[in-house]
Every structure is written in C-alpha cells, then in structure tokens.
Amino acid sequence: MNRLIVILIPLLMIIIVGVLFSVIVTSQHRIHAQNSISYSVVPSIPNKFKVLGQEQRQRLFSSSLGAAKQLNIAFILPTFTEAAYHNSFYPFYKAYQKSIKPGVNITHNLYLLSNNVIIPNPDDETRYLTKHLASLFPSFHVSILTDADVDAQSIFFTNGTNKYDTLVLRHQEYVTQQEYDNLKKFVANGGTMILLDGNTLYTLVGYDRIMQTITLIRGHLFAFNGRSAWRSINETWANETSKWVGSNFLCFLTPCRITFATNPFGYNQREEQYLSNPNDTILLNYNASVLSPNPKLAKNATLDHERVIAAYELDYKKGRVIGLGIYSDDIYLKQNFVMFFDHLLLETRNINN
C-alpha cells in the first residue's frame, strides 16, 4: 500500500502541473488573441468608395497599350523636401517633439528650421521613368521641374491656362502655400496630377527665392515665426487636401506595421496614404492589414473604414488626381509597376467609359 502511494503521488503531481500549465497557456493565448483583435485590422472596402470594375482593372495591367496621343508631362523634383531632410529640420524634431508641451515657446536651435535649397540632378526614379516614357512614347513631351518652378507658376502660361497635361509628383512633403495653391489650380483647370509617393503636401514652408532657402512655417507638429517655435498641427492642410486630393498620410509618429494582401508590385511598407474622400474611385485596393498600438487608429480602421490604402482617382472640378497610395521609390524598377504607371498615363481619362 505504501509502495502504491509512493507511485501515485508523483503521478498526481505531474497531472496537476500539466493542468495548471494548460490553463496558463490558454489564458495567455486568449489575452494575445484579444490584443490582436484590438490592434490588427483588415479593413474591408467601405460602401462609400466606388470601385473600378474587374475588366477595367485588368486593362491597367495589360501588356498591350492603347494608342498614345501627344502628351505634355512634367515631373516635379521635391527639392524643398530634400532641403528639409538634409541635416536640418529633423534634428530639431528629434530634440523637441517629445519634450515640449503645448504653449511652450522654443528659442534654441532655431537655425535648424531653415536650410539651403540645392538644385540636384534628377534622382534615379525620375531619370528612369522619364527615359522610359521618352523611349516608349515618342509623342510625349517630358519635362523635369522643381518645387521652385511650381511656386513661380511655371506650370501655367501667362494667361493662367495649364502648360502641361499631367504633373507627376514625387515626395512633395514640404511645399509653400503658393506651390500648394498652384497645384490645386492646375487640377481645377483640367490637368491630371499623379502622386507617386505617400506623405505629400504635408508641411508648409516659406521659400526665399533670393537666398535660396526654405524655412518651416507650420506642420510636422511645430510652427515657427522666425523668433520662436511651438507645438502645432501635424498635417497643414488636412481637410483641404482630403477634399481635392482625396487622401491623407497614415501613421504619422505612430508605430504601425502594414502588410498588403494584394501586392502585385512586391511592395514593403514605407509611407502610405489612406483614402479620405467618399468620391474616390479605387483603382487597385492593396487590402492592407494595419497592426498598431494606437487604439484610435485601430478603431477608425475597424469601424469607420477610413484607413483603406489603395491606388485611386478623384475628379476635382475639370481635372483629376491619381494617387498610388504607396511610396513608389522602392518599386519603380518592377515591371508590373511600370506597366501600371504607363496605363495610368494613357487610359485614366477614359477609364470609366
């Protein structure tokens, strides 16, 4: 009997420990699942957005291109943004964005909020795409301009009409008020504006044409009047941009991980736009999943369906805006992307016909 008890007690202890372990693991899995439900989002296409038909979407990836008419295209180099990133604005942001409370004036290190504008050679993507278009479509006239050119109204004739059919924007994160207004006027006049990258038209800067410098005015969480800086808004024209551009920047200062269930370009997350105008027409929905510790972002994505990442088009007055929704710098050499871009240039005017 004693021998039996000696054998049974260890067995009972093993069973009890196993049960306890099972309970603990199950609880941990339940907690993990609950957290995943809170933050991991797979937004469906909201009913408020129009979606391109399947046949029309297939045309955007067809290997056969339609007849190319003469088209005047200008690529805009983001020279103001390059100046802001070049050892300038970002050391200031890093130093103060977490430590300064609203209402507190900053009077140190203000020199970081201005920088020289250097006119660079065209970047690799612009060189590649302009040469590609010139080779594939000899009837196209392709120009390369800068932010300063748009600021100076070089996209218009002297009578105010558009000089180009299509403008292709890159990473125009920092623009002047004049540049912003001129781009809006260009579209209103009947032009097509294509946004190749995310995080565009985000922060207001001033431009000194004589000194060739830019200076922060408002956006990216700060405002600056030349004497002091203070906490302010993140996206300068958020509501206005939503109305005529149709999308806004996603995940500003919020760590989030985005994956794409529909990913014909082999794209990895960098800087993305989400659709913000109910009149947007989705050309290609990337079916993005957003993982973020920000409950507000997750809530909006789940309930309000305001975080759809997609290539889209939006009619504004006489013209049209086409947004890729992603950061194309990373994929411009991909054949599927170049084919998609070619069709956008050729067919978007008639895409719904």
Residue-wise DSSP of 97-136: TTTPPTT--B-SSGGGGEEE---PPPPHHHHHHHHHHHHH
Helix (H), strand (E) at residue 244: helix 238-244
Q: Output the six-digit token pair for 76.
A: 């805009």
Q: How far apart are CA 173 and CA 219, in angstroms?
A: 10
Indicate if the pLDDT at residue 43 is higher than 80.
no
Which of 165-174, 248-257, 277-286 is the least confident region?
Answer: 248-257
Indicate if the pLDDT at residue 28 is higher than 60.
no
How confident is residue 221, by pLDDT bands cut at 50, 70 and 90? very high
The pLDDT value given to residue 58: 67
Nearest to 83, CA basis, from 238, 220, 216: 216
pTM given for the model? 0.82
In sequence order, what are the beta bridge partners of 282? 51, 312
Q: Output the six-digit token pair for 346.
A: 């050729």
The residue with tokens 């994956």 is 259
The pLDDT value given to residue 121: 83
Helix (H), strand (E) at residue 143: strand 140-146
CB 202 within 8 Å of CB 249: yes
Q: How far apart are CA 33 and CA 38, in angstroms?
A: 9
Nearest to 84, CA basis, from 111, 106, 117, 126: 117
In sequence order, what are the beta bridge partners of 315? 320
- Taking residues 105-109, what's their average pLDDT? 97
Sign of the CA dihedral 261, 266, 269, 275? negative
Q: In what order do the strands lie in the sheet with 319-323?
A: 50-51, 281-285, 310-316, 319-323, 192-195, 166-169, 71-77, 140-146
Nearest to 275, CA basis, from 237, 312, 220: 312
What's the chain's average pLDDT?
Answer: 82
The 10 Å CB-count burial string (b at 16+, else e) for 244-268 is bbbbbbbbeeeebebebeeebbebe
The residue with tokens 């027409």 is 281
pLDDT greater at residue 28 or residue 200: 200
Indicate if the pLDDT at residue 143 is higher than 70.
yes
Q: Output the six-digit token pair for 12.
A: 């009972």
How confident is residue 151, by pLDDT bands cut at 50, 70 and 90? very high
